Structure 1
Amino acid sequence: MGSVGVSWRVWKFLLGVWLVMIGMLIGSSDSLCEFEGIFNFGDSNTDTGGFNAAFPAQVSPFGMTFFKKPVGRSSDGRLILDFLAQGLGLPYLSPYLQSIGSDFRHGANFASSASTVLEPTASLDVGGISPFHLAIQLRQLQHFKAIVSEFYEQQGQGTNNDNKDASYSYLPSPDIFAKSIYTFYIGQNDFTSKVSAYGIPSLRESLPQIVSQIDATIREIYAEGGRTFLVFNLGPVGCYPGFLVELGHDPSDVDEFGCMVSYNDVVDDYNNLLRETLTETRENLVGATLIYVDVHSALLQLFRDPTTHGLKHSTRACCGHGGGDYNFEPKIMCGNMAASACDDPENYVSWDGIHFTEAANKIVARAILDGSISQPHFPFQQHCDLHPID
């Protein structure tokens, strides 16, 4: 009986260990992913509150759909970046410039509304362009990495950090930088500010410089240990309601879908140059994954045939003033007391004439996650157990 009792206890112990291991596997399966974080560079298309942290001004109805209040995002709800993080099982990215309530354990967002790739030649007050251009955002990343490294070095040396633990508890471990995705969605403000001030010919001349700066930034991050890069191209700005109102054009320049052909042609030139440059760079970055993300094709499809994706309105803004075909008035934009938002943003492609609704952002994000608009093909489900982005 003694040997039987011992065997039974051993069996129970092994069974218990097995059940614990199964439980751990089941509990962690939803969050298994090769990528531990996201570091984002961009403008208002991916700004999760950076510009508003630096220059607080956003008011309702921004954020009305999901957050139920303005949270520094240029939309009624979540952005493409938010859905990307959600799909990977990561929290929404905190803005690097936000001093209160930020959690950087899974990355940081350096994007700022009105940012450009190239250094701006005018101040924010004069030109409406953010001072946080791409080179500044890169320096912010490097400063952030230095702080993380310094903190962990102090911890390893036994330095007394009793007064730092509260503020530093939301920092990532130093190895996150090699295990994260670096996303780039920037360049739209270089395009629109240049074309508004100098016209299409001058814009075409600057395209190589813009692309070269993005390429140089990627190479610098790679040299510092970054290995996975997603670079978004530019959307069809010739279809955006705000630009249809503000950018001069002849009626003959408008295609059957209501978009300006000449401006979209320049966007195509830029996107082709960006794709070709990244293709060349990819061959030189050993061990890196460099993906060209064709958000342009996904957005163009929404503008041309919104009903295919369950939407109704393409080149008409949900939030704005003036009604008509575009519901956009440059002097009374969304957020102005005289402007108002539609009751059904889920039926619109455009939120405020320049940015997109949560509904449109979700459609594009799904295409990114399934790899259908990535070159080369990059289905995230082969790298992560994806979460639903409902």
Structure 2
Amino acid sequence: MSVKTMKDIELLLQILVLFTVLMGSLMQNADAKCDFEAIFNFGDSNSDTGGFWAAFPAQKPPNGMTYFKKPVGRATDGRVIIDFLAQALGLPFLSPYLQSIGSDYRHGANFATLASTVLLPKTSLFVTGVSPFSLAIQLNQMKQFKVKSEELQTSGQINLPAPDIFRKSLYTFYIGQNDFTGNLPYIGISVVKHYLPQVVSQISSTIKEIYELGGRTFLVLNLAPIGCYPAFLVELPHNTSDVDSFGCMIFYNNAVVEYNNMLKEALRQTRESLADANVVYTDIHSVMLELFQHPTSHDMKYGTKACCGYGGGDYNFNQQVFCGNTKLINGKNITATSCSDPYNYVSWDGIHATEAANKIVAAAILDGSHFDPPFSLKKFCDIQPIG
């Protein structure tokens, strides 16, 4: 047998092995089942997949640098938690409701936008820096989306969900951080605490309205420990005695715990009033707190230091110039640039988590150990890897 013939046989065998692996993967995906045919998400920048920048196009690099290699509407270097959840359920990334070009809504829609609040700005005493797309607006968008989808389906429109999909969907909420932090440096925590009961009440009433539209499964993410975020460590007034051994602000973190307990109780009461619904409190706070306190235990290096920012030091955050922007400060052009290793950081830009941190949080959610009451996504779906 000639050398050329042997090489041809080796090449053929390699092709056959590759084909077998590929077919096995395709068959595995074909066999994957999930009772949730769509996800509808409500939130702020922590779960925005492009809504804000569809409405106000201005996003710049280095956002998106890790996974997408370009800005794609996420306020981080890559994927957000809702991206990982969609991937695990075998669904495509959620198209933003406000993005008219290139969107596919057959498997849900994302109503989240950067800077969104639960309450209307005038209700929560906000004066600046808040999105017009509060939770009430997002709910109205959802209602309009459902009505229009059902109307257009009859005329053969594509890229829209089937009329019966709304009962077969997972409804996720990751919102409330801006109600808590929006003007915290100006009005103080005592004023904020006055309207936090309204925040949890609005979330509960939104769930009840979606229930009337057919929704039956709701995951509500609680708030992360804001006292550990670089931006708030720089912006919020505090004394050195207010900082714990991990570099986080005790006073503000305790306030977040109070809010989360309030949310948990409100969801319990909502669950009791909706007998055939799954209303699940999802504790990401404990996961994020662990990452901030012990980053090296999770193959990271930096907890309370931002990857993308300006100033270096303990926090690498300057509130005058945000990630990716350039600004004239004291007669000098200053640019907030990104680190080259965001996978070593919990915080991307001082306010949002990195893809690496989001992936760890998503894995904890999928594990099912951070739900109250106990709830298993694996009972409904064949969970796919989130590589």
Q: Could you tell me whether the CA contact under 8 Å between 1:319 and 1:352 is conserved in 2?
A: yes
C-alpha distance in 2, partners of 1:238/1:191?
12
Identity between Structure 1 and Structure 2 (%): 63
- Which residue in the other structure is 2:158 paired with? 169
Instruction: Name the counterpart of 1:58.
Output: 59
Aligned ranges for residues 314-353 of structure 1 at < 5 Å? 314-337=303-326, 338-353=335-350
Matches within 5 A, 1:15-164: 26=27, 29-121=30-122, 127-152=128-153, 155=154, 161=155
Residue of structure 1 equivalent to 2:377: 380
Cα displacement string for residues 348-377 of structure 1 (whole angstroms, at most 9, x for unaligned residues): 000000001000000000000110111112
Counterpart in the other structure of 2:193? 204
Contact 1:30–1:386 (CA<8 Å) still a contact in 2?
no
Conserved in 2, the CA contact under 8 Å of 1:194 and 1:202? no
The match for 2:246 is: 257
Which residues of 2 match residues 140-289 of structure 1 at below 5 A? 140-152=141-153, 155=154, 161=155, 168-289=157-278
3-state SS of 1:47 partner: coil
**Number of residue pairs matched by the alignment:** 353
Question: CA shift at 1:196, angstroms?
Answer: 2.3
CA contact 1:30–1:89 (8 Å) conserved in 2: no
Q: For residues 180 and 204 of structure 1, what CA distance do their matches in structure 2 show?
A: 33
The TM-score normalised by the length of structure 2 is 0.89
TM-score, normalised to structure 1, is: 0.88
C-alpha distance in 1 between matches for 2:82 and 2:182 = 24
Letter in 1 for 2:228: C
Unmatched runs of 5 consecutive residues or more in structure 2: 1-23, 327-334
Q: In the aligned structure 1, how far is the partner of 2:292 from the partner of 2:31?
A: 35
**Structure 1 Cα separation of the partners of residues 191 and 127 of structure 2:** 20
Q: Is the 8 A contact 1:238 1:263 kept in 2?
A: yes
Instruction: Establish whether residue 304 from structure 1 lines up as the match of residue 293 from structure 2.
Output: yes
Cα gap change, 1:58 to 1:126, in 2 (>3 Å): farther
Preserved CA contact (<8 Å) 1:29 1:385:
no
Name the stretch that deviates more: 217-226 or 319-328: 217-226
**DSSP-derived class of the 2:285 partner:** helix
Paired with 1:227 and 1:58, the residues of 2 have a C-alpha distance of: 35
Deviation at 1:71, TM superposition (A): 0.5
Runs (5+) with no aligned partner, structure 1: 1-22, 156-160
Q: Is the 8 A contact 2:225 2:288 kept in 1?
A: yes
TM-superposed deviation, 1:313: 0.5
Q: Could you tell me whether the CA contact under 8 Å between 1:310 and 1:347 is conserved in 2?
A: yes
Provide the C-alpha distance between the structure 2 equivalents of 1:207 and 1:290, rounded to a whole number of angstroms: 20
User: How far, CA to CA, are the matches of 1:53 and 1:183 in structure 2?
Assistant: 21
8 Å CA contact 1:148, 1:171 repeated in 2: yes
CA distance in 2, matches of 1:194, 1:276: 26
Q: 1:357 aligns with which of 354, 358, 366?
A: 354
The residue matched to 1:196 in structure 2 has which SS? helix
Q: Is residue 121–residue 127 contact of structure 2 (8 Å, CA) maintained in 1?
A: no
Q: How far apart in 2 are the matches of 1:297 and 1:216? A: 26
SS of alignment partner, residue 385 of structure 1: coil
Residue 309 of structure 1 and its aligned partner are, at CA, apart by: 1.2
| Contact 2:324/2:338 (8 A) holds in 1 | no
Deviation at 1:26, TM superposition (A): 4.5
Distance 2:269 2:110 in 1: 27
Give the Cα–Cα distance (whole angstroms) in 1 for the partners of residues 183 and 198 of structure 2: 13
1:314 partner SS: strand
SS in 1 for 2:224: coil
Q: Is the 8 A contact 2:222 2:260 kept in 1?
A: yes
- Cα distance, 1:199 vs structure 2: 0.4
